[in-house]
Structure 1
Amino acid sequence: MRSVAGRSTGRGLEDQNTQSKPSLLRNRPLMAIIIVYCVFSLQEIAYSEIFSLWAVSDISYGGLSFSSQDVGQVLAISGLGLLLFQLMVYPPMEKSLGLLVVIRLSAVMLIPLLSCYPSIASLSGLTLHLVINCASILKNALSISLVTGLFILLNKAVPQSQRGAANGISMTAMSIFKSFGPAGGGILFSWAQKRQTATFLPGDDEMVFFVLNLVQLIGLILTFIPYISQNQ
């Protein structure tokens, strides 16, 4: 009798705990963070697709005329710089400035950085390689600051018992947005190459990075949603 009573009591407590958990879809701070996370993820995957296409494009189209080996070297150096940034720079920066400030500051700095990319195509030789490597390292460092900060805010928006489900929802939503990135980036780049003689943002580089900056600006504006600042 005692064992039966204990089981029924345990089941009752489990049912109460299940019923007492708030719905994640009604968690406004969580949903706001996921939306911002998805926008920045879309921009990041589109940039990754476009960068390689832009780098190997001919100079006459506003590209860098890089070989596949040159692109690989840039990506490898950027990866090394990103590792050092995450280990040595991001932790003290986050502690001194706070998550939300780091996120917004990174989003703001990415806009002028991406605006400089078309001008990089006018360089050549060693100067070109040095500048594009530095720009790529900085771009990846700022992007990882955004993603890391949003990921931490996302986990702060829910109790520990719901973090697994919250991360599952965010990963699903992010994957959906990321699925549009490569196709959208390729279509955008192909369309921009046909605008070599356009009066507004001619060439493939200016229009492409203008659109990337536009998505970046939308993400930056969304970081000012009041619900996000509640979980800092």
Structure 2
Amino acid sequence: MFGRALTSVFWGVVADRYGRKRVIMIGTITMVVFNTLFGFSTCFWMAVVMRFLLGSMNGFLGPIRAYASEICRKEHQTLGLSTVSTSWGIGLIVGPALGGLLAQETLHMHNEEHTEGHCTFDDMESPSNLSDAKEKSEEIKQEPPSKESLLKNWPLMSSIIVFGVFSLHDMAYTEIFSLWAVSPRKFGGLSYSTKDVGEVLAVSGFGLLIFQLFIYPSVANVLGPMIVCRILAVLSIPLLSSYPFIAMLSGSGLAILITCASLLKNAFSVSITTGLFVLQNNAVTQHQRGAANGISLTAMSLFKAVGPAVGGAIFSWAQNRQGASFLPGDHMVFFILNVIVGIGLLMTFKPFLAQPST
């Protein structure tokens, strides 16, 4: 995250100047290279350096968000950006789920053949689409470039700050959820194994896909992305408050409730993120979108870099106050998460958040 924070603006500017596809391809290649080297790390610092280089050289998320907003008509922007958020959110959920499931195994099969799907740009480079792309590029050239500094664009900067607050919350929640799920029941946890956590995350990932593709776009088109953000932020507060009480259950009832709660929480978080993506991309002209998304990713990366440390520190501190009279144990953990949500919610209103004029 720190490496990405240092270079996200650079990659955004490169994408604006030389094209989205080049940056996306560079990011894809470097992700394969440095993730592989990370897996082959022989010491802690080699692993840290490989992760830093992975973040520094991987700048495709911002251009992908800009690209998704550009290839969709205005009425389909929420669906386009929702797809980006969904794929990213599912990756963050399915990845740990696979890790939790595979952590129980001792036999590693390296000789199996896997056929992985891959994305190409062939369709976009077909003769029929090349003419459309040429027309669009001519229209872009005719559009006079804006001289306004992105840092002075308050609709953009205010939405980025709000996005950073929710990113901090999401990263802290992700850290806390796994720690809470595997902690013993005497400390307010679920006493889950890594396999159990993996199963919960896998099911919630599938539910997230359904929610983002079939429910969120329709609701956002009717109510607007910002109204949906506020509603889901409000609903997140009682949902998080229910976690310590869910932990008091046992058996199948516990499994069902915690899976449903995890599904809803992840769906709410990704939907809030998608709404802020829409605001950010609408706040700038097309030739500035790469740089704008780079600034957004820089802020997000900084907040997410401290998120795990914040979440882990809060959880550890709360474990030592199980007998407190006010918000004992995990009640304090989820209360603090709710405070962060509340701050983010308040920041979505005027005068702080300035929405771009349509």
Partner of 2:221: 95
Q: 2:15 — aligned with what?
A: none
How far apart, in 1, do the equivalents of 2:254 and 2:177 lie? 15
CA contact (8 A) 2:237 2:341 kept: yes
1:125-162, Cα deviation, whole Å (9 max, x unpaired): 00000000011111111111100000011000111111
Give the match for residue 197 of structure 2: 71
**Is 1:170 aligned with 2:286?**
no
Given candidates 130, 135, 139, the residue that maps to 2:265 is 139
CA distance in 1 between partners of 2:214 and 2:316 (Å):
39
Candidates 326, 330, 341, aligned match of 1:216: 341
Q: 2:163 maps to what in 1? A: 37
Residue 212 of structure 1 deviates from its aligned partner by: 0.2
For residues 119-158 of structure 1, the aligned pairs below 5 Å read 119-158=245-284
Q: Which residue of 2 aligns with 1:179?
A: 305
Q: Assess if the C-alpha contact under 8 Å between 1:82 and 1:140 holds in 2.
A: yes
What's 1:110 paired with?
236
Partners of 1:179 and 1:210 in 2: CA distance:
22
Conservation of the 8 A alpha-carbon contact between 1:153 and 1:231: no
1:28-64 CA-to-partner distances (Å, cap 9, x unmatched) read: 1111000000000000000000000000111110101
Q: What's the counterpart of residue 60 of structure 1?
A: 186
Q: Which runs of 5+ in 1 are unaligned?
A: 1-13
CA gap of 1:163–1:70, structure 2 versus 1, over 3 A, is same
- Whether the 8 Å contact between 2:322 and 2:328 is mirrored in structure 1 is yes
Task: Name 2:151's counterpart in structure 1.
Answer: 25
Cα distance in structure 1, aligned partners of 2:313 and 2:307: 10
Corresponding residue SS for 1:197: coil
| CA distance in 2 between partners of 1:175 and 1:115 (Å) | 27
Task: Decide which structure has greater helix share.
Answer: 1
Q: Which amino acid aligns with 2:285?
A: P
* 1:47 equivalenced with 2:173 (yes/no): yes
| Separation of aligned partners in 2, 1:91 and 1:165 | 26
Q: Percent same amino acid at aligned positions? A: 61
What SS is found at the alignment partner of 2:354? helix
Q: Contact 2:279 / 2:356 at 8 angstroms: preserved in 1?
A: no
Any idea what SS the aligned residue of 1:124 has?
coil
Displacement of 1:74 in angstroms is 0.4
Secondary structure in 1 matching 2:189: coil
Residue aligning to 1:82: 208
Task: After superposition, give the CA deviation of every residue in 1:75-97 in whole Å (9 maximum; x if it has no partner).
Answer: 00010000111111111111111
Instruction: Provide the rounded CA distance (Å) in 1 between the counterparts of 2:290 and 2:356.
Output: 21
Q: CA deviation at 1:231?
A: 4.8
Q: Quote the Cα distance in structure 1 between the aligned partners of 2:245 and 2:165.
A: 26
Q: Distance in 1 between matches of 2:312 and 2:350?
A: 31
- For the Cα contact (< 8 Å) 2:170–2:269, is it kept in 1? yes
Answer whether contact 1:32 1:225 (CA < 8 A) is retained.
no
1-side partners of 2:201 and 2:192: how far apart? 12
Question: Please, what TM-score do these two structures have when normalized by structure 2?
Answer: 0.58
CA–CA distance in structure 1, aligned partners of residues 172 and 357 of structure 2: 28
What TM-score does the superposition give when structure 1 sets the normalisation length? Answer: 0.89
- The offset of 1:98, in angstroms, is 0.9
Distance (Å, rounded) in 2 between the aligned partners of 1:146 and 1:190: 28
CA distance in 2, matches of 1:44, 1:178: 8
1:198: Cα distance to partner?
A: 1.4
State the match for 1:7 in structure 2.
Answer: none
Distance in 2 (alpha carbons) for counterparts of 1:105 and 1:92: 15
Q: Distance in 2 between matches of 1:199 and 1:117?
A: 18
Cα deviation code 1:177-225 (max 9, x no counterpart): 100000111111111100011121111x101000000000000000003
